[in-house]
Amino acid sequence: MTAPVTCLRRVAWLVAWDAAAGRHVYLRDADLAFAGDTILQAGGHWEGVAAREIAGEALFVIPGLINIHCHPAQSPLFRGYVEEFGNPRLFYSSRHRFRQCFLPDAEAQLAAARYGLAELLAGGVTTAVDLSHAYPGWLDLLAESGLRAVAAPMFRSAAWYTDTGQETQYEWSADLGEAAFAEAGAVMEQAERHPSRRLSAMVSPAQVDTCTPDLLTRSAALARRTGRPLHTHAAQSLAEFAGMARRHDTTPIAFLHRLGFLGPRTIVGHAVFTDEHPWLVWPTREDLALLAGSDTAVAHCPLVFLRDGTLLHDLGRYLEAGITIAIGTDTHPQSLLEEMRLAELLARAAAGPRHRCDTAAIFHSATIGAARVLGRDDLGRLAAGARADIVACRLDHPAMQPVRDPLRNLIHVAAERAIRDVWVAGEQRVAEGTVLPIDMASAARALGVQQGRLDAEARRRDPEAWQDDAAAPPSLRHAAGPL
């Protein structure tokens, strides 16, 4: 049975993919027609029959965004705790006592992920790479959300902690991650067999410093044998860089290269502290060339590092070196549009007047760049034959006015406030700004209940750390009234 056609008729501004030029372009007064999971026509006038027509005169339509790196089962729970507080002796990283006693369990993770996945949809994300330690109900929740999701079950050989606050320490598991590796393999197979047909999998050893060389090598072999993308966190902190230098006498990126981990389907999240970072003293300047030469991509998530007072130097240099950049959220809020804005502005701040980054490059990273990493030439673009992952934004929203350049307005001003409708695989998942598969208000209430429960458990687990809220001080002191 042929799927009915939906036509967005006479869209005021349509971002279409010009395959010959290899870039997104604006089309004006253009039709976008799709049926089922496939775009039939982008641009011109649709002459065929349409079961549903949507007036596009007040719409700005873009391809669905791809979030290459997010942790929805954790980050929403940390709201109100981590925005301004970290470990100053580890450059304000989150490796401090709060994270060692505030421990989300499966119930809390489900509540956080339900809210976080809805937040992604509301922000125009249609494909998300969910980096989580597998928990009960995860895959069914990903399917329920309506997203096109990549399940990336993380595994590792050691957990990190700090007793002194001055260095990262590691608690190595007895089997060096063997059981976690096996569990992740089973979860990835379940994702690929899921009846929703919108789930896929990514091989994800958690961090370069928490995995043995053998586990990293076996992960790369598994990814290449199965055709899955490969991901690990690396070069993400000064502490990690120093630790890897002590352990292996090389940079984290060079270490991965030595293991044969880098490659065309490999993603390094976050690759901030390479040997070209100006805050490091290191004799080589090879890391960017290793990434570019191996065609390894970088998952860039600027906000989480900005909170710690750090930043990638400089994004334009990575792009100029030929490194594929994709954008992720990593932390809360799950707003990819805000991350895109920060990525461009911080690139300018890092490089100064000679910055080499602009809105078009950032948008390319959040669409085509990410799709390339995932091996999907049918995502991140509006073109005939591509998947029907579509975002319609209100041009009549005050933040989108005046309409000289709607993409700049969306990224630099309006963000998700202007998003009206979202389709994933041809199914409408957001209508008039309301997320359809998940009740966000109910999910937010459940999230608050779980955060309160975890807070109480953390206070019982480590009362010294929580005395006078020392583990995570509030922005304002609590006072007894009247004043």
pLDDT digits (tens, 9 = 90+) for 89-146: 665 555 456 777 889 999 999 999 999 999 999 999 999 999 999 999 999 999 999 9
Asked whether 114 and 141 are in contact (CB, 8 A), the reply is yes
Task: Look at 231-240, 305-314, 334-343, 407-416 and tell me which has the smallest mean pLDDT.
Answer: 305-314
User: What pLDDT, on a 0 to 100 scale, did the predictor assign at position 81?
Assistant: 87
User: What pLDDT, on a 0 to 100 scale, did the predictor assign at position 82?
Assistant: 84
User: What pLDDT, on a 0 to 100 scale, did the predictor assign at position 471?
Assistant: 75
pTM beyond cutoff 0.85: yes
Average pLDDT over residues 340-348: 96
Asked whether 157 and 94 are in contact (CB, 8 A), the reply is no
If phi > 0 it is left, if psi is from -120 to 50 it is alpha, else beta; for residue 40 that is alpha
Residues present in the chain in total:
483
As a whole number of angstroms, the distance between CA 426 and CA 418 comes to: 20
pLDDT confidence tier of residue 212, bands split at 50, 70 and 90: very high
As a whole number of angstroms, the distance between CA 168 and CA 1 comes to: 59
pLDDT confidence tier of residue 462, bands split at 50, 70 and 90: confident
Average pLDDT over residues 211-233: 98
CATH number of 65-373: 3.20.20.140
Domain boundaries, the chain: 5-63+383-435, 65-373
User: What pLDDT, on a 0 to 100 scale, did the predictor assign at position 299?
Assistant: 98
Asked whether 196 and 145 are in contact (CB, 8 A), the reply is no
- Which residue type is seen at 14? L
Q: DSSP labels for 167-227?
A: S-EEEE-TTTTHHHHHHHHHHHHHHHH-TTS-EEE-BEE-BTTTS-HHHHHHHHHHHHHHT
User: What pLDDT, on a 0 to 100 scale, did the predictor assign at position 470?
Assistant: 75
Pairing mode, strands 125-132 and 204-205: unpaired
Burial of 361 per CB tally in 10 Å (0-12, 13-18, 19+): middle
As a whole number of angstroms, the distance between CA 386 and CA 49 comes to: 20
Q: Which CATH architecture does the domain made up of 5-63+383-435 adopt?
A: Roll (2.30)
pLDDT confidence tier of residue 253, bands split at 50, 70 and 90: very high
pLDDT confidence tier of residue 355, bands split at 50, 70 and 90: confident
Give the DSSP H or E segment for 407.
Answer: helix 406-409
- Whether residue 165 is predicted with pLDDT greater than 80 in this model: the reply is no
User: What pLDDT, on a 0 to 100 scale, did the predictor assign at position 234?
Assistant: 98
Asked whether 218 and 156 are in contact (CB, 8 A), the reply is no
Average pLDDT over residues 142-158: 98
Instruction: Name the percent of the chain lying above pLDDT 90.
Output: 84
Place of tokens 């069914």: 140
Over residues 3-31, the pLDDT tens digits come to 999 999 999 999 999 999 999 999 999 99
User: What pLDDT, on a 0 to 100 scale, did the predictor assign at position 91?
Assistant: 56
Q: How far is CA 312 from CA 48, 278, 336, in A?
A: 49, 10, 17
User: What pLDDT, on a 0 to 100 scale, did the predictor assign at position 93?
Assistant: 55
Q: For 348, what's the count of Cα atoms within 13 Å in the CB-facing half-sphere?
A: 9
pLDDT confidence tier of residue 1, bands split at 50, 70 and 90: low
Other CB atoms within a 10 A radius of the CB of residue 307 amount to 16
Asked whether 141 and 132 are in contact (CB, 8 A), the reply is no
User: What pLDDT, on a 0 to 100 scale, did the predictor assign at position 481?
Assistant: 79
Q: Quick one: tokens of 176?
A: 């060096």
If phi > 0 it is left, if psi is from -120 to 50 it is alpha, else beta; for residue 241 that is alpha
288 φ/ψ angles, rounded to the nearest 5 degrees: -65, -35
Q: What average pLDDT does the chain have?
A: 94
Q: DSSP labels for 86-142?
A: -BGGGTTBS-SHHHHH----HHHHHHHHHHHHHHHHHTTEEEEEEEE---TTHHHHH
Asked whether 130 and 191 are in contact (CB, 8 A), the reply is no
Average pLDDT over residues 77-99: 70
User: What pLDDT, on a 0 to 100 scale, did the predictor assign at position 257?
Assistant: 98
Evaluate whether 5-63+383-435 and 65-373 have a shared fold. Answer: no
As a whole number of angstroms, the distance between CA 393 and CA 62 comes to: 8
